[in-house]
Amino acid sequence: MKKSALISTVAIVCIIAGLFIWYFNTASGQRTVKSWKSNNSGGIERIVKVYSNEGKLIEEYEGKIDIQDTEYGNKVLFDLNGKRVVIYNATVVTEEK
């Protein structure tokens, strides 16, 4: 391999590595890493509160939870203690412990 080709290859690898380091130090990159961890470990320790349209607390869940919402925002689902929980048309607030 010629010296100029080697230098070009090293430069490209350094640029790509720099972009990865930059991205994963942004807020968006950190959210991506947290999502990967949540998906691969079965969730994150969270408290999930479900409120009615009038603002009354209906239910509260606590545990290792991986939240999945729908594109239209009218359904949230997650598994907790081996059981599927599906919530329709309510306000759902999730808080990481």
Q: What is the pLDDT of residues 4-50, one digit of tens each?
A: 788 888 889 999 998 888 888 898 888 888 878 877 877 889 999 99
Which is more confidently placed, 85 or 66? 85
pLDDT at res. 82: 84
pLDDT at res. 56: 95
Provide the residue ranges of all domains of the chain, joining segments of one domain with +.
1-41, 42-97
Confidence of residue 1 (pLDDT cuts 50, 70, 90): low
In terms of Cβ atoms closer than 10 Å to its own Cβ (0-12, 13-18, 19+), residue 48 is buried
pLDDT at res. 50: 95
pLDDT at res. 70: 75
